Structure 1
Amino acid sequence: MSKLPVLPGALIPKNEKLNFIWNADLVFYDGPLVSLFKKDDDDFIFFWVDADSRHNRWVVTPVGRADLAQYLEKTLSLRSIIDRAELLLVFEATKQAQRKNARTIVPSKLLQEYLPDQDSFLYDNIATDAALQLASADVGKYRIGLDGELYIDDIAAVPRVYQQLYSFHYGLGNLDRAAVRSALNRFLTSWKGGINAVNMFTGLRGVTPSIHRARVLELHYASPGHIELELLKEFAADIARTCQQIVPAASYGKSEKLYSDIYVYFRKEQLSGFDSDGGSASQRLTSMQRKALSKFVDQYFEIVNWAHYKDEFQGLGLDPLTQLRMLLAYYRRLRVLRRYSVEGKISLV
């Protein structure tokens, strides 16, 4: 039985799961003290407040996009974030990481000794490397130009495909964050059809804090028009550069031939199917197959001019078949943007 002080609040039913996804530890001293989590599309800050011999007590506060940015930039304290919350969540975590006795509580009912100081800013001397990285990312505005004859499904398709490519670049660009690397490895460990590709692109949002997601600021269409986004500008530039690599007809011809050659090889080597419950095709690759598939990977990187991504990509530790599946899934989405660009319906500026 827990020896921690009893707190008021409404207990959450035991069968209700606390499906928070760890994103990054922000303050760490002999263990995490302040961490960033996500649930659905919302951000939450977990902060440690108490412990007994068997449990650690945590308080969870929601945090909006603007407040999270200010906290990371050291202009808003953790205490201010808590004071702005309507409800907090409190639970005890066992040594086996089980969450127990979860309850909601209003901030005014939290024990005084559990409240952070008014000066609880995320100063550099206590911030983790992950916190400093999140804070230093270059977030800015970016416009996708719109023109020509567009239909409502076009207006839906362009942002969807763009978001998926953005997630891919975000994943590769943040592999040094354990949560991102873990998410990518989870999606790619066993490739069971199209669901893996969807998860790889859209599932990364679970470890992408709101301050780094591509947020629509304005959508205007009057031929010409635009979609104005707020996002990480380096990844927007990477998408634009990669798309431009295959816009010229000659370059596109090379990329399409490579795409076709890969699937011819898959069929020849009986690698065209996805993994099944009977085992992973990646684990049965011969040395000759690995060599041939690795050559395809190198050719792909050359066509899209991704020399700057080579180390990050190899850092995933994936076998060449999984690498190709990942790259081909990206390419299928990239050529959608290419088609809109060639037809003059979008411009990546």
Structure 2
Amino acid sequence: MQKGESYILLDERWKLEDFSILTKEYMQLYSFFYSLRLVENDAFSQLEFERMPWLGGGSVVGFFSIMGKLIHPDNKPEVKRIQYASPGFIELTLIVEVAKDIGIIVTALSGAVASVAGTYNLIHSQYQKRKLTQLKIKDLEAQQLINEIKFVKDSVKELQEKYKLSTNQVQSLHKISRGDELVQLKMLLALYRRAKPIAALQVNNKANFKNA
């Protein structure tokens, strides 16, 4: 992975909480896509994710926490320059491929806000209604819950398409989840909740990640 500079363009009036959203959620997205590239490149031998139960919200928090720890200290984003004006920018030193990955999902979400939000809300509602929080795909298969299995597989595919995930990213998610589509669904739902606030900054013309 190549280290270099990336720009987040700034505009409009920013509130202090906007910077909090940018730093917190951007780092979680960076951790996510950085880890996918590690998996893609076989850059580490043991997936800590395999030990996670993926039963309830705690596993989601733990998942992103583990991903954050996988970033080599030299590859964490560093602020090189900030110019707050209209327009302004934040210049970061980081892994440029990961910055581009973030730009793709943020642009995908901000370009189809209502569509993606509607898809997420429908899937999440059905996910809860079907009581899938405490289950894995093997549980559905053991009970021969055909409709639930189909819902999970279709939802995973739909979210992958909405997020504009590449074939390599999809394959990395498959490896991390050990082929469990329900675990993948939980990952993708959690990813939306972290990408949405960043996309909102772009929708409101406060930040632009398209040229990251």
Asked if these proteins are the same fold (TM beyond 0.5), I'd say yes
Specify the alignment match of 2:48 in structure 1: 183
Deviation at 1:234, TM superposition (A): 0.6
Deviation at 1:142, TM superposition (A): 0.7
Judging by fraction of residues, say which structure has more helix: 2
Specify the alignment match of 2:201 in structure 1: 340
Aligned partner (choices 186, 211, 236) of residue 74 of structure 2: 211
**Structure 1 residues 259 and 143: alpha-carbon distance in aligned structure 2, compared to 1, 3 A threshold:** same
Specify the alignment match of 1:64 in structure 2: none
Deviation sequence 1:63-88 (CA, Å, 0-9, x none): xxxxxxxxxxxxxxxxxxxxxxxxxx
Identity level (%) = 26
| Aligned amino acid, residue 314 of structure 1 | H
Deviation at 1:212, TM superposition (A): 1.4
Do the aligned residues in 2 keep the contact of 1:205 with 1:213 (CA within 8 Å)?
A: no
| Aligned amino acid, residue 194 of structure 2 | R
Judging by fraction of residues, say which structure has more strand: 1
Structure 1 residue runs of 5 or longer lacking an equivalent are: 1-136, 276-280
Deviation at 1:207, TM superposition (A): 2.3
- The farther-off stretch of 316-325 and 162-171 is 316-325
Aligned partner (choices 174, 185, 189) of residue 314 of structure 1: 174
Specify the alignment match of 1:285 in structure 2: 140
**Structure 1 residues 202 and 143: alpha-carbon distance in aligned structure 2, compared to 1, 3 A threshold:** farther
| Aligned amino acid, residue 285 of structure 1 | L
Higher relative contact order (CA 8 A, sep 6+): 2
Is 2:160 aligned against 1:301? yes
Deviation sequence 1:130-188 (CA, Å, 0-9, x none): xxxxxxx2000111112111111111210111110010001111112335x523334x4
Aligned partner (choices 139, 149, 165) of residue 29 of structure 2: 165
Deviation sequence 1:230-260 (CA, Å, 0-9, x none): 1111111111111111222xx3332122212
Do the aligned residues in 1 keep the contact of 2:77 with 2:94 (CA within 8 Å)?
A: yes
Aligned partner (choices 139, 144, 163) of residue 3 of structure 2: 139
Larger radius of gyration: 1
- Normalising to structure 2: TM-score of the pair? 0.85
Is 2:197 aligned against 1:331? no
Q: Distance in 2 between matches of 1:223 and 1:198?
A: 36
- The farther-off stretch of 324-333 and 281-290 is 281-290
Do the aligned residues in 1 keep the contact of 2:54 with 2:60 (CA within 8 Å)?
A: no
- Normalising to structure 1: TM-score of the pair? 0.54
**Structure 1 residues 220 and 200: alpha-carbon distance in aligned structure 2, compared to 1, 3 A threshold:** farther
Structure 2 residue runs of 5 or longer lacking an equivalent are: none
| Aligned amino acid, residue 115 of structure 2 | K
Do the aligned residues in 1 keep the contact of 2:12 with 2:205 (CA within 8 Å)?
A: yes
SS in 2 for 1:305: coil
| Aligned amino acid, residue 43 of structure 2 | R
Specify the alignment match of 2:91 in structure 1: 228
Do the aligned residues in 2 keep the contact of 1:168 with 1:200 (CA within 8 Å)?
A: no
